[in-house]
């Protein structure tokens, strides 16, 4: 119900009370009408719901598809926010990139919330958190190290285990740049890029 419609109803009630013996009741009628309208009018939250997506485990093709489809569906349904509750030890590079692309391309703000206490957003989860519009963590949670895993590992079976990891492009850089996060959180994390 629009503000103009509420005013017309309130004025109609006041007109009924008009001058005369009911004039003393006018303030009480106005308060009762206002209270009725406030309780009867649907709230803004009911008009634009929030989508909650939960990931508790590794980031793989199934969880990436679940998150990408959930974000797209929230935009399609006109939701005001997507919340991803995240607890992950990390996951696959390709799956993480699918989720990061979905977040960066979303017209609906995406909040990533690392929870419950004791949860983590390690490896791929760190990059997903950095790509989000809103990054939040419950007390007692942590994030990093951040080295997304590629199937088969870099270099194959005969790779030198002491060699530094490949310098793959940083998938979190686009998220930090788009979200105007100018400091480099990699300096505070144990991130290998």
Digit-by-digit pLDDT tens for the chain (193 residues) are 555 555 555 555 455 555 555 555 555 555 566 555 556 555 544 567 999 999 999 999 999 999 999 999 999 999 999 999 999 999 999 999 999 999 999 999 999 999 999 999 999 999 999 999 999 999 999 988 766 556 665 554 444 444 444 444 455 555 555 555 555 555 455 444 3
In 3-state terms the chain splits into helix, strand, coil percentages (rounded to 5) of 45, 15, 40
Q: Distance (Å, rounded) from C-alpha 34 to C-alpha 37?
A: 5
Q: What is the pTM of this model?
A: 0.60
Cis amide prior to 102 (ω within 30 degrees): no
Q: Which of 115, 89, 86, 117 shows the shortest CA–CA distance to 103?
A: 86
């Amino acid at each position: 119900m629009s503000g103009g419609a509420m005013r017309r109803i309130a004025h109609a009630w006041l007109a009924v009370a008009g001058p005369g013996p009911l004039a003393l009741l006018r303030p009480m009628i106005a308060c009762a009408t206002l209270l009725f309208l406030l309780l009867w009018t649907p709230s803004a939250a009911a008009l634009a719901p929030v989508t909650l997506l939960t990931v508790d485990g590794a980031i793989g093709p199934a969880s990436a598809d679940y998150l990408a489809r959930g974000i797209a569906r929230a935009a399609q349904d006109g939701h005001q926010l997507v919340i991803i509750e995240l607890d992950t030890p990390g996951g696959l590079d390709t799956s993480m990139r699918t989720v990061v692309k979905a977040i960066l391309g979303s017209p609906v703000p995406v909040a990533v919330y690392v929870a419950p206490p004791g949860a983590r957003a390690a490896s791929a989860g760190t990059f997903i958190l950095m790509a989000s519009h809103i990054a939040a963590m419950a007390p007692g949670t942590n994030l990093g190290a951040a080295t997304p895993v590629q199937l088969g590992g870099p270099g194959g079976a005969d790779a030198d285990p002491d060699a530094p990891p490949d310098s793959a492009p940083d998938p979190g850089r686009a998220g930090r740049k788009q979200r105007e996060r100018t400091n480099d959180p990699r300096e505070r994390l144990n991130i290998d890029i």
